[in-house]
Structure 1
Amino acid sequence: MYWDNCSGGTLGSYRWLGSDLASAALKPFLDTYNARFPQQATLASTFGYNSMMALHAALKMAGVVDRLKVQEALSNLDITTPLGTRIFFKNPPHGDNLDPTVLVVRITGRDTYAVV
């Protein structure tokens, strides 16, 4: 999207990603996703999947669909999703993931990048 909106002006620029779509760890997920849905998986697909895995784990910990109990479960969440992403909150005052996965990349073309 950025590439198209700026007519390729991001070529050679750097950005961060939450995961590398070319990694072997994501291949089973991407193969399953791409076989099931007509639109190819993107980083947003992996973020959505990890978000649902975090919510699923919190609901299991809470034992009931109750907003306050799920919030409490999230505040103590420490899981590794099937995609290999560790999600660790431990009740920070700011609500951010304490152990985020960050990958720095250089944009090499539309939907392509090189890990730095």
Structure 2
Amino acid sequence: MAYGLSDTALWILYIVSDAAEPCTQQDLCRQCCFPKQTINTAINHLIRDGYLTLETLPGTRNSKRIMLTDTGHALMQTTIDPLKQAEDAAYGNFSDAERQCYLELTRRLNTNLREELQAQLKRRTL
């Protein structure tokens, strides 16, 4: 636990703080690759602690936007903002060549992982 938050809660705050558009639980599940129940439990704790609220999105039956409360914004300033600053500083310590290498290796890893997962799915369906 960082900052007294579960890893899931920390990632939720991180993603919600960056979201340019309304962020829903379904969006979080896709972005974090956490099970729906894990996201739901963490959101409920953050709501109970006064950091988040849910607001029904217009034109939907049950899709809800996750919103930071004033207390949530204050928490974000003491947790997520310093984390992002540390990330920026850490990446800033890379040379241009190291940054390019890191990005290329990350792209390759993601491509290889995607291909491997597709191959495993294909083998299961045969």
- Interval of TM-score (by shorter of Structure 1 and Structure 2): under 0.3
| Structure whose residues are more often strand by fraction | 1
Of structures 1 and 2, the one with the larger relative CO (CA 8 A, separation 6+) is: 1
